[in-house]
Amino acid sequence: MKLKKNLFAILLLLSAVINAQNKLYTEQYRPQFHFSPATNWCNDPNGLVYNNGVYHLFYQHNPFGNVWGHMTWGHATSMDLIHWKHLPIAIPEENGVMIFSGTCVVDKNNTSGFGTNGKIPMVAVYTAHIENVNQSQHIAYSLDDGITWIKYANNPVLDLHKKDFRDPKIFWHQQKKYWVMALMFPVEHIVQFYSSKNLKEWQHLSDFGPAGDTSGVWECPDLTQVPVKGTLEQKKWLLQTSQNANMQYFVGEFDGVKFTNENPTNKIFRPDYGPDYYAAIAYNQLPATVLPTSIGWVNNWNYANDIPTTPWKSAMSIPRTLSVKKINNDWVLIQKPVAAIAGLRKNKITIDNAVVSDKKTLPIKSKQFEIECTIEPAASSVSGIRLATGTNNYFELGYDATKQIFYIDRSKSGNTTLNENFTKKDRFKKKITLQNKKIKLHIYFDNSIVEIFVNDGEAVFTAQLFSDKDDGGIELFSDGERQNLVVYIFGK
């Protein structure tokens, strides 16, 4: 490819951010700026809540092994959503009852009555899971800022005697002055809404669904209010659901009783168009100055247990801030990496006015970096970037100008045979219309995870890849004859 003017790239080196314990966090595939448990399995983020300057991250965890099982809430905290501190297990499996996904609130007005001696309780609501028998909603509380938890003596607080009924998300509804709980009828593809004055007694409010993508069981509903980008005051309600094994969202209104979707019902909207983003939920009780922020699980149930990482399995996405924007007739979710991640930048390489003909290898090898670039594709060209390049392998992301699609392709990215579903799931795409003839990409690569924010967060792609040890090259490519590529690269 040929590049005309203005090729500008900056590459920054980021530092490893998670506290290395002995040899942990030095393993080949270990992400450095994505949260992962020190050892053993994790899946969904749970109980995301902000309390006294601290962001809590609870998560589905197996303390006994590196595959799914013995579900327990693991716990970590952060002051900036980027640097995490591991804490002891929060809520353990007990007598064969697993602690499935749920959420957490700080009960500042002690509506639950769990607060004693003036202490403010944190209350967690989760699904108690008895394999093949029952799923019901339980609560537990903490009087020491989330470190130790006491299970409520009169659990369950909601039991419909169903085998599949899970993943409560609770939050305080300011106008109605009650707690709202969203939870799933997975098989029926229905989100149910309940209300409570005290977190203990719940009344059914309404149902939403089936809608949109009903190809897999629905899990992990998340209802949160988000700003409309570019306005000072306007807000909409964002309902995200996970259906094995990807996510979708709806945008509309929630009047404290009922959710109404305002997006076209014949279209499916996804918070992530890659293979490895699931069960995302948003933080509760953030300060007014912080944008709504969500975290998702970076893995896919079709092959999750077989990814070749040890002694841990799975990581969390970069926390993403959320807003919505009306584009034509659609409310589109806009996601951005949380601002604090820019603090990890170390070195930068700038490539300006580069012209790429066929390919151009960057003068750096790295598996932890951030790239910002703008590509101006020529008509009928395919152009983009290859990461983790080596003798035989690469991970490709690019824009096909003929088809007007942005795509990622991990078919040649190293170990692709860890599970046949991983082998099959090798290419992902979405139609993206160029803006002023350009497409903007913001890419984070972290050893085995790539997250790409397209056009300022209008679409996101998250994927895992397991490249060979030495596959650390980066190259720009194009097969177009008259290609303008403008690349800004930050990263490490």
| Residues in contact with ligand FRU by the rule CB under 6 A | 43-44, 60, 71, 100-101, 127, 166-167, 219-220, 278-279
- Quick one: which of 181, 196, 246, 238 has its CA closest to 219? 246
180 phi, psi to nearest 5 deg: -115, 140
- Quick one: which of 355, 388, 347, 371 has its CA closest to 454? 371
Q: Minimum Å distance from CB 97 to ligand FRU?
A: 13
**Distance, CA of 435 to CA of 376 (rounded, Å):** 10
HEC letters along 180-204? EEEEEECCCCEEEEEEECCCCCCEE
Residues labelled catalytic? 44
- Closer residue to ligand FRU (CB): 101 or 192: 101
Q: How many CB atoms lie within 10 A of CB 257?
A: 12
- Closer residue to ligand FRU (CB): 102 or 337: 102
- Closer residue to ligand FRU (CB): 185 or 399: 185
- Closer residue to ligand FRU (CB): 281 or 443: 281
HEC letters along 78-100? ECCCCCEEEEEEEECCECCEEEE
DSSP assignment string, 390-413: -SS--EEEEEETTTTEEEEE-TTS
List alpha helices for 229-279, DSSP H: none
82 phi, psi to nearest 5 deg: -120, -45
Q: Minimum Å distance from CB 272 to ligand FRU?
A: 14
List alpha helices for 406-447, DSSP H: 420-424
Strand-pair category, 40-51 with 358-365: unpaired
CA 185 from centroid of its chain's CA atoms: 22
**Distance, CA of 274 to CA of 450 (rounded, Å):** 10
- Closer residue to ligand FRU (CB): 301 or 445: 301
**Distance, CA of 160 to CA of 186 (rounded, Å):** 14
Q: Minimum Å distance from CB 244 to ligand FRU?
A: 8
In angstroms, the Cα distances linking 343 to 11, 107, 338, 346, 491 are 14, 33, 11, 8, 11
Instruction: Identify whether the C-beta of residue 396 lies closer than 8 Å to the C-beta of residue 373.
Output: no
**Distance, CA of 29 to CA of 20 (rounded, Å):** 14
For the chain, give the number of residues: 492
Q: Minimum Å distance from CB 185 to ligand FRU?
A: 12
Q: Where are the beta strands (DSSP E) in 1-67?
A: 40-51, 54-62
Q: Minimum Å distance from CB 365 to ligand FRU?
A: 35
Q: Which residues contact 174 (CB under 8 A, 6 or more apart)?
A: none
- Closer residue to ligand FRU (CB): 284 or 467: 284
**Distance, CA of 152 to CA of 454 (rounded, Å):** 45
Q: Minimum Å distance from CB 451 to ligand FRU?
A: 19
User: Which amino acid belongs to residue 410?
Assistant: R
Q: Please count the CA atoms within 13 angstroms of the CA of 455 that sit on its side-chain side.
A: 21
